[in-house]
Amino acid sequence: MNLTGSIRDMEKPHFYWQLGELIASTGDDHFATNLFQLVNPLVPVNRVDLSEWTLDERQASVVEIKPLGSAGGSQSVSPPDPLQHPDEHPLLQKMIEMSDSLLIQLKTPPQPRHPQHSVHQCNLVSRTSNRRCVISFFRPHTHRVFSLPELSFLKNLSDTLLPLIERHAKISRQTVARQPRLPSAELDQAPLQQVFDERLTLGRIVLSVREKEVCLGLLTGGTVPQMAEKLQVKSSSIQTYLKRATAKLGVSGRHGLAKWMAGA
């Protein structure tokens, strides 16, 4: 992987548009697909699986593994199902011992009888109490292993991705519990704006109308010139609105704004 090129790609408007789509899709069926489409151009993978593990830490055992979605290649590009023998899964011991977010690379030995289970696997894992949210990336064994630059890049990206899967898992639990949510028609109108407003309310942050318009425009992939044309102001004014907004949010620049939106 060309790490420098991938870092440059993260600064492009299209990356922020995709990140905005991912943020807005937390809790719905498109989340895994949007996550795959965000990561795959930066670090090529064949498949991504999302799951939430509930552990009995005293007994070092698994209480429940809840699938949260998958996207990418066919089911053949995946390791053995963790639901079949959860207490024997190689991730478990590392999850029990972890105190902070982890990147775990698993080297699955070749299995002649079941070649589809011989995969290269990289996992991003977050910890909240006895729950672990897991993002698993796969490549077939016929492809190269994840390189050190790729692993380092994914670890850096985890600051943005792990808070999002935690939110996705939380919304999924609320849905199961039948807690009320907005009708899908309302969500489709402005899902990113809804999440943005929720984050502002939680942080007790007040932005002006223009500051909000600029933030949302940049998060959906707009450029400074495009925003200036849309709002009929100078590009320097757009930069000023962005600086005022990010100062209130306690972040810097568009990347900081995106990470704030992700809850990092």
Location of each CATH 3.30.450.80 domain in the chain: 3-176
> Alpha-carbon torsion 225, 231, 234, 240, what sign?
negative
pLDDT over 70 (residue 53) = yes
Location of each CATH 1.10.10.10 domain in the chain: 184-261
pLDDT over 60 (residue 165) = yes
Q: What is the CATH topology of the domain spanning 184-261? A: Arc Repressor Mutant, subunit A (1.10.10)
Give residue 37's pLDDT.
94
What pLDDT band is residue 183 in, cutting at 50, 70 and 90? Answer: very low
- Calculate mean pLDDT across residues 39-54: 93
User: What CA–CA distance (Å, rounded) separates 34 from 22?
Assistant: 5
Regarding the domain with residue range 3-176, which homologous superfamily does it belong to in the CATH classification?
A: Transcription factor LuxR-like, autoinducer-binding domain (3.30.450.80)
Give residue 113's pLDDT.
47
- Calculate mean pLDDT across residues 116-128: 84
Give residue 209's pLDDT.
84
